[in-house]
Structure 1
Amino acid sequence: MKSDGSREAEGNEQDGDEKGARGEGKHRETFVDAVCRLTNEPRCSGTALPDMQEQEVQVGSEGRRKSAHHFLAMEESLLEDVDWPEAVRSWQRGELSNYDYLLILNYLAGRRWGDRCFHTVMPWVIDMSVKPGMGQGTAGWRDLTKSKWRLAKGDEQLDFTYSSSETPHHISDECLSELAVCIYKARRLPLWILKQQVRSVYEPNEYPSSMSRLYEWTPDECIPEFFTDADIFVSRHEGMSDLAVPEWACDCTDFISLHRGVCLFFS
């Protein structure tokens, strides 16, 4: 991981590099750019209720259960009174984890935990192939120099999008769509929401069955629940299996612990 003291200077260098890259028409966008983009355009295709109202979560052992209510309340209470300038300085000094810093950026951008239309977003940090810390070199790590959209679609598709669009662009204007949020949370959301937002005919076998498949499939970024809430893996729907964790994790609770540890201090 990069040293704490180099964050501020490095950030200034990256700002200059990114501006130059955009001017040359490169496929370049930082994760922070995507998180903090604000828009007045409608984001939902239908009525969106907060997940804490949609979920009737009754599954999962009491020892590991973390409800949507708990995390929504925790996020709001912790972030409402944050001293934003001091938080930035704390992050630069290495006193605030990357995970908590990104939660603050999400909050400032208007993103909220449980809002499918403008959900709190986190980057994918690992590609699920190797247990965190066990791979050689870059094995198992997601390439953070490229957007997930670029990693999933490939440069050829991005170039085609740029050349064929009325307003030339390489990547989607959303780093986390409502559709992706619904598919990520498919095991917990009511069927009527899945039928409304994903597909009108419910077919459980068409949803990604494992975290590895989900990562491979999605062009969108991650959600914080995959770092905090073991219940998101447990299916409440007939015919839909639980979301399988990689073989290197003992169970969903073990996966959450390992995944969260990586996101705290990724670089």
Structure 2
Amino acid sequence: QTNAFFNFEKREKSKVFSKIIDLRPPNLVYSETGTPEEILKRSGLTKKWQSGQISNFDYLMQLNTIAGRTYNDLSQYPVFPWVISNFTTDEIDLRDPGNYRDLSKPMGALNPERLRDYVKRYQDCSLGGLDIPPFHYGSHYSNSGIVLYYLLRVEPFTSLFIKLQSGKFDIADRLFDSIEGTWNNCLTNPSDVKELIPEFFYFPEFLVNHNKFYFGKRHGGNGPAVDDVILPRWAKTPQHFINTMRDALEGPIVSASLHKWIDLIFGFKQQGKEAVEAVNVFYFLTYEGAVNLDAITDENNRKATESQIDHFGQTPSQLIKRPHPPKDLDHNTHNTSPTLFAENGKRQLAIKHRERVSKAPLVFIAVPETQMLSNLSVNVAMAERVVTVDRARVAASHRWLDEGGRFVLEADPMLSQRRRVGIPFAPDLSVSSSLFAVTEDGRTVISCGHWDNSFKLTVIDSAKQTQSVAWHKDIVTCISLGRDGRTLVTGSKDTTLAIWQVHMRGNAHRVMERPSVILHGHNDE
């Protein structure tokens, strides 16, 4: 799929919309319209976040999207908060509030000494008789330069960074070299108040110089070469750093105060009197609607203004004009795992049941994701499931029965029909739970380890095979379905990992015929 972004003049935009609608293209989708504030109100996202139905990360991504932020525009890239403030110790205790940044304050207000300078600047601007509104900060927390600063080591951002710097890398001392150094600079440098980007919470690859670019040496060429990002001492690997950042973001300490940061970036403290009191006022051109570009008749003046807006930074659309409600921590039932896949590819589950549910030893047992997210307080039959597969490939779907708050397992009444998944396993294969996954609705088992190098989708109730995918060049030895229910990973004896997209076609799950990502470089399975 290819996306295109067209930037029409305001007068032409309505004409183009009308023409497209008149043509009635087959894939035309009417999206919800309204102001960002109205769209957020209608979405119900805030209540879902408060009750723990969606994670902190997902909620921030949704707010960014509604506020006009997108991965497709470096000048309006999604913005995320610094949450951890301790990057110096050998270990970090995420239960200690002292290891966290104060989310009720903008970055510029975290350092009391520097804060006084910003307050004085605002007062001087107010008294100086300038033609522009007073402001605290002459820089911004998010702009194209900041995004490229963080993503320097990953293409296409490397090439974009070089283009921004007139055909070469910036001097080594100004590059993103260290987490601790960047944090300290954001606390002390009078022109640096940058926040983070979403990649700090899911994408460890951006911290590693996989492409072996030569960025130069620090300290005027006499210091160490800039290479991989230097991690905090408490982070053993880039993956460990990202997991810790995500744990912190989703943990109770950040959850209890995240709404205060939302007030600053998207909410009632973004503009007006409350922004002044919070020391949260930026240069006027960063705000939506601050200048009408169509009213600027001088072409050079207009281009200069557009360039300033594009490179200086843009404040998100204001979504909320009253204090954002806090998260209800007492009823936070959302699974806040920092990774898409359960640790070790398996979910920890214990079930006590005295009756036999299989003639052969069980090798796989799972509770569908929809049921895990509701803590077994289900209200539809399809979610009341425990799925099992035994060594003979017989799949079964057992039910939970709620007896006065005590959950009892009722064995699958169709167990005697011995509904098998797939075809026989490869003869030299050790049969284990890593050969199976179950879709989030509990209807379909995905199996691998078959002798024909395939993985297969089988509907449990009917034992009907709905799809067989034979792409790997050897036996598929492991499989895992992400918590989103749409991301499938397979590993094979051919030493490749493949990432597949799962979607619904009618009432059946389907896997795309080719993987979206192929990972090489393993020496063995």
Class of the TM-score when normalised by the shorter of the 2 chains: 0.5 to 0.7
Give, as a single letter, the amino acid of the residue that structure 2 aligns with 1:160.
Answer: K
Partner of 2:493: none
The one-character-per-residue Cα deviations of 1:32-57 (angstroms, maximum 9, x if unpaired) are: xxxxxxxxxxxxxxxxxxxxxxxxxx
Once residues 120 and 64 of structure 2 are traced to their aligned partners in structure 1, the CA distance between those partners, rounded to angstroms, is: 31
Partner of 2:418: none
Pick aligned residue for 2:180 from 212, 231, 235: 212
> Residue 250 in 1 paired to residue 236 in 2?
yes
**What is the letter of the counterpart of residue 197 of structure 1?**
L
Residue matched to 2:249: 263
Q: Is the alpha carbon distance of 1:196 and 1:162 closer, same or farther for their aligned partners in structure 2, counting shifts above 3 Å? A: farther
* Alpha-carbon distance, 1:112 to partner: 1.0
- Structure 1: how far apart are the matches of 2:42 and 2:93? 32
Q: Corresponding residue for 1:233?
A: 207
Q: Decide which of 150, 158, 162 is 1:195's aligned counterpart.
A: 162
Counterparts of 1:1-267 in structure 2, within 5 Å, are 85-129=43-87, 130=89, 131-134=91-94, 136=96, 138-151=97-110, 154-165=114-125, 166=130, 167-171=133-137, 174-189=140-155, 190-198=157-165, 201-202=168-169, 203-218=171-186, 219-235=193-209, 236=211, 237-239=213-215, 240-265=226-251, 266=254, 267=256
Q: Is the contact made by 2:84 and 2:100 (CA closer than 8 Å) also made in structure 1? A: yes
Going from structure 1 to structure 2, the CA distance change for 1:134 and 1:228 (only over 3 Å counts) comes to closer
CA shift digits 1:109-150 (9 cap, x unpaired): 1101253110011111002435553574x3221111210133
Instruction: Say which is worse superposed, 184-193 or 245-254, in terms of deviation.
Output: 184-193
Alignment partner of 2:77: what SS? Answer: coil
Q: For residue 198 of structure 1, report the CA deviation from its aligned partner.
A: 4.9
Change (3 A) 1:161 1:200: farther
1:126–1:132: 8 Å Cα contact kept in structure 2? no
Give the distance between the partners of 1:107 and 1:264, measured in 2 at CA. 19
| TM superposition outliers: structure 1 runs of 4+ over 6 Å | none
| Contact 2:92/2:234 (<8 A) preserved | no
1:249 CA drift (Å): 1.1
The answer to whether the 8 A contact 1:210-1:245 is kept is yes
What whole-Å deviation, never above 9, does each CA across 1:57-93 have from its counterpart, x for those lacking one?
Answer: xxxxxxxxxxxxxxxxxxxxxxxxx995332211111
Structure 1 residues 257 and 99: alpha-carbon distance in aligned structure 2, compared to 1, 3 A threshold: same
Pick which of 154-163 and 116-125 moved more.
Answer: 154-163
Contact 1:127 1:212 in 2 (8 A): no
Higher strand share: 2
In 1, the alpha carbon distance for the partners of 2:138 and 2:63 equals 20
Query: Aligned residues, how many?
Result: 185
Shift of 1:187: 1.7
Give the aligned CA root-mean-square deviation in angstroms. Answer: 2.7
Give the TM-score normalised by the residue count of structure 2.
0.32
Please list every run of 5 or more consecutive structure 2 residues that lacks an aligned counterpart in the other structure.
Answer: 1-39, 187-192, 216-225, 257-525
Inter-partner Cα distance in structure 1 for 2:152 and 2:249: 23
Q: CA deviation at 1:207?
A: 1.2
Which protein is richer in helix relative to its size? Answer: 1
Cα displacement (A) at 1:191: 4.7
Give 1 or 2 for the bigger CA radius of gyration: 2
Which residue of the partner structure matches residue 23 of structure 1?
none
Residue deviations 1:189-223, cap 9 Å, x none? 45542234357652234313211111222311110
Give the distance between the partners of 1:199 and 1:97, measured in 2 at CA. 40
1:232-261 CA distances to partner (integer Å, 9 max, x unpaired)? 001231143111111111100111111111
The Cα offsets for residues 169-197 of structure 1, whole Å up to 9 and x where unpaired, read as 22458431222111111122455422343
Q: Whose relative contact order is higher, 1 or 2, with alpha carbons under 8 Å and at least 6 apart?
A: 1
* Equivalent-residue separation in structure 2 for 1:196 and 1:86 (angstroms): 41
Structure 1 residue runs of 5 or longer lacking an equivalent are 1-81
Distance (Å, rounded) in 2 between the aligned partners of 1:211 and 1:199: 26
Letter in 1 for 2:59: Y
Counterpart of 2:272 in structure 1 is none
**Residues 188, 173 of structure 1: CA spacing in aligned structure 2 closer, same or farther, 3 A cutoff?**
same
Q: Separation in 2 of the partners of 1:197 and 1:108?
A: 28
Q: Structure 2 CA distance, aligned partners of 1:141 and 1:260?
A: 13
Please, what TM-score do these two structures have when normalized by structure 1?
Answer: 0.61
